[in-house]
Amino acid sequence: MPQTNSSEGLLPGLSDPVLDQQSVFRAVLYAVSHPGSIVALPVRLTPPAPLDPSTAAVALTLADYETPLWLDAAAQSSRVSGYFRFHCGCPLTARPEEAAFAVVADASAMPPLGLFHTGSDEYPDRSTTLIIQLPSLDNGEAWTLRGPGIEKSTVFAPAGLPGDFRTWIADNRVLFPRGVDLIFTCGASLAALPRSTRLED
Amino acid sequence: MNTSQGYNFAYLDEQTKRMIRRAILKAVAIPGYQVPFGSREMPLPYGWGTGGIQVTAGIIGPDDILKVIDQGADDTTNAVSIRRFFARTAGIRTTSRTEEATIIQTRHRIPETPLSAGQTIVYQVPTPEPLRWLEPRETETRKMHALADYGIMHVKLYEDIARFGRISTTYDYPVLVDDRYLMRPSPIPKFDNPKMHRNPALQLFGAGREKRIYAVPPWTSVRSLDFEDHPFEVQKWSQACALCGSTESFLDEVVTDDKGGRMFVCSDTDYCQRRRDAKEAAE
């Protein structure tokens, strides 16, 4: 890691770690159990650029010393890595297949989902959860979602994803119960696409 | 908020809660799959709901309203002490009214009042593995789940039919979640199994001793195993509840004296009491 003075320019994390993590977790839990629903972030946070508040809040809520974190090229500044090292105490990894969580700040340049850890048939839970920051959660190409957590079907329209992303999700679904889970963030809102969700053509 | 001094909010430390929360998210993403987690020592023995308490402690916040039932009753020892535990360690409000609660922790029943979207029900689970009494080796049951090879469970149900003429399992009746994972619904009567199917509430399951968390997301298919010629059926009673007159609820048989006297009453005390109150108000 580059030498930086960790206290210099280090931005504060969640103001009340106990209750803020609880409320952020409940927002994430709601999002994962209602795929495609857009949930407002219940806390205020000023993370280092290029992170949005919801991207940082989800990572601060879920990551700790047990969960290696992978950062994409856009998020790989010393300020961002210092921020996560200080507030989460999590190890950073350069290998996506080792990561428990991955933060993608620039979705358009992200690697395929298949490069991340998809778990094993016996332990599908040992997979990567990706936190993908997007320019918008509702003005992209409209996808129709079905599956657990959705009453009939729902429309989700994330913007700023690579052109092949739909194929990646279909490939991820084929692996079920293996696969990665996706949390999409934008500004102070978030949505999720767990591996159980099916995309309609 | 008035919480006990010297404890973190909701008793567990933050790292434990994060570990439980990560397990819950994976459980929701893979409906019916049992996620291993680092179950902690709790201030009550295994078998008293340590798994359910840890799940509740992982999700509960200051705005939540908690209901706890034990066999349908809000006023039994286990239910009272768990409610009190969270009132003291998290300072949250508690209730006995099903529709008022945001989180319902339960042992062995699903309330008669239908759950609604946004509610979370947390089941206390003694043995999470549906195949455990058929195959004691964890390595083998894990492989069966990986391959969705649930033949031995069908053989077990078939042997029931061959021996007794019907499937004799009346509680903890195995279900298939989202047509993939075989799941134990915890020892709820099979009467409650249909309530799990496409329920708008989030269903979480915690097994403390066995260190497993699993989940059924809202609106998820939960099918009780059966055969075409022996379809799944729930219990029926010839009586109505002796107190509220309900013919639709799950009834407990209560012995009233030593001369063979007995009565049938609703197992869900909140449901029964509210029906009696409504009847009284109407008179």
Q: How does DSSP assign A46-88, residue by residue?
A: -PPTT--HHHHHHHHHH--TTS-EEE-GGG-SHHHHHHHHHHH
Q: What is the pLDDT of residue B5?
A: 75
The answer as to whether A76 is a domain residue is yes
How many CB atoms are closer than 10 A to CB A190?
30
Tell me which of B16, B18, B64, B199 to substitute to probe the interface with A (most A C-beta atoms closer than 10 Å): B18
pLDDT of residue B124 exceeding 60, the answer is yes
Q: What is the pLDDT of residue B52?
A: 97
A162 touches chain B (CB under 8 A): no
The answer as to whether A189 is a domain residue is yes
- Contacts B29 to A, Cβ<8 Å: 32, 181, 194-196
Sign of torsion, CA A35 A40 A41 A46? positive
Nearest by CB to B14, which of A18, A26, A181?
A18
Pick the residue with more confidence: B258 or B4?
Answer: B258
List pLDDT tens digits, range B197-208: 999 999 999 999
* pLDDT confidence band for B95 (50 / 70 / 90): very high
Q: What is the pLDDT of residue A153?
A: 96
* pLDDT confidence band for B182 (50 / 70 / 90): very high
As separate numbers, helices (DSSP H) first and strands (DSSP E) second, chain B gives 7, 12
- Contacts A22 to B, Cβ<8 Å: 9, 17, 59-61
- The residue among A168, A51, A148, A121 whose CA lies nearest residue B197 is A148
Rounded Cα distance, B36 and B141, in Å: 14
Strand partners, B176: B182, B223
Inter-chain touch A22–B61, beta carbons under 8 Å = yes
Q: Print burial letters for B108-142: b (CB count within 10 Å at least 16), e (below 16).
A: bbbbbeebeeebbbbbbbbebbbbeeeeeeeeebb
Provide residues of B within 8 Å CB-CB of chain A.
8-9, 14-15, 17-19, 21-31, 33, 35-36, 58-62, 142-143, 145-147, 178, 180-181, 200, 202, 215-220
Question: How near does any CA of chain A get to the CA of B115, in Å?
Answer: 15
Residue of B nearest to A151 (CA): B219
Domain that holds residue A194: 17-199
Question: How near does any CA of chain A get to the CA of B146, in Å?
Answer: 5
Q: What is the pLDDT of residue A201?
A: 78
- Contacts A177 to B, Cβ<8 Å: 30, 33, 146, 180-181
Q: What is the pLDDT of residue B6?
A: 83
Q: What is the pLDDT of residue A109?
A: 95
Inter-chain touch A194–B28, beta carbons under 8 Å = yes
- The residue among A37, A25, A39, A43 whose CA lies nearest residue A129 is A25
Note whether B205 and B128 are within 8 A (CB).
yes
Q: What would the two tokens of residue B163 be? A: 């021996």
Nearest by CB to A148, which of B62, B143, B220?
B220
Q: What is the pLDDT of residue A8?
A: 61
Rg (CA), chain A: 16
Residue of A nearest to B57 (CA): A22
Q: How many domains are contained in chain A?
A: 1
Which whole number is the average pLDDT over B96-121?
97
Q: What would the two tokens of residue B141 be? A: 């049951």
Which whole number is the average pLDDT over B163-192?
95
Residues in contact with B14: Cβ distance below 8 Å, sequence separation at least 6, in sequence order: A17, A18, A21, B8
Rounded Cα distance, B275 and B233, in Å: 26
Question: How near does any CA of chain B get to the CA of A149, in Å?
Answer: 4
Inter-chain touch B30–A196, beta carbons under 8 Å = yes
Note whether B66 and B101 are within 8 A (CB).
yes
- The residue among B45, B70, B59 whose CA lies nearest residue B209 is B45
The answer as to whether A164 is a domain residue is yes
Specify the CATH number for the domain of residue A152. 3.40.50.11310
The answer as to whether A11 is a domain residue is no
Rounded Cα distance, B262 and B257, in Å: 7
Q: What is the pLDDT of residue A76?
A: 93
B131: left (phi over 0), alpha (psi -120 to 50) or beta: alpha
- Contacts B23 to A, Cβ<8 Å: 125
Note whether B175 and B224 are within 8 A (CB).
yes
Residue of A nearest to B145 (CA): A122
- pLDDT string in tens for chain A (201-residue length): 444 444 567 999 999 999 999 999 999 999 999 999 999 999 999 999 999 999 999 999 999 999 999 999 999 999 999 999 999 999 999 999 999 999 999 999 999 999 999 999 999 999 999 999 999 999 999 999 999 999 999 999 999 999 999 999 999 999 999 999 999 999 999 999 999 999 987
List pLDDT tens digits, range B20-65: 999 999 999 999 999 999 999 999 899 899 999 999 999 999 999 9
pLDDT of residue B231 exceeding 90, the answer is yes
How many CB atoms are closer than 10 A to CB B180?
18
Rounded Cα distance, B161 and B174, in Å: 15
Tell me which of B12, B13, B17, B21 to substitute to probe the interface with A (most A C-beta atoms closer than 10 Å): B21
Note whether B91 and A18 are within 8 A (CB).
no
In this predicted complex, what is the ipTM? 0.95
Q: What is the pLDDT of residue A7?
A: 53
Q: What is the pLDDT of residue A184?
A: 98
The answer as to whether A85 is a domain residue is yes
Question: How near does any CA of chain A get to the CA of B129, in Å?
Answer: 14
Pick the residue with more confidence: B5 or A71?
Answer: A71
Q: Which residue is associated with the tokens 């009847």?
A: B279
Sign of torsion, CA B138 B140 B141 B143? positive
The answer as to whether A166 is a domain residue is yes
Note whether A99 and A62 are within 8 A (CB).
no
Q: What would the two tokens of residue B219 be? A: 């609106």
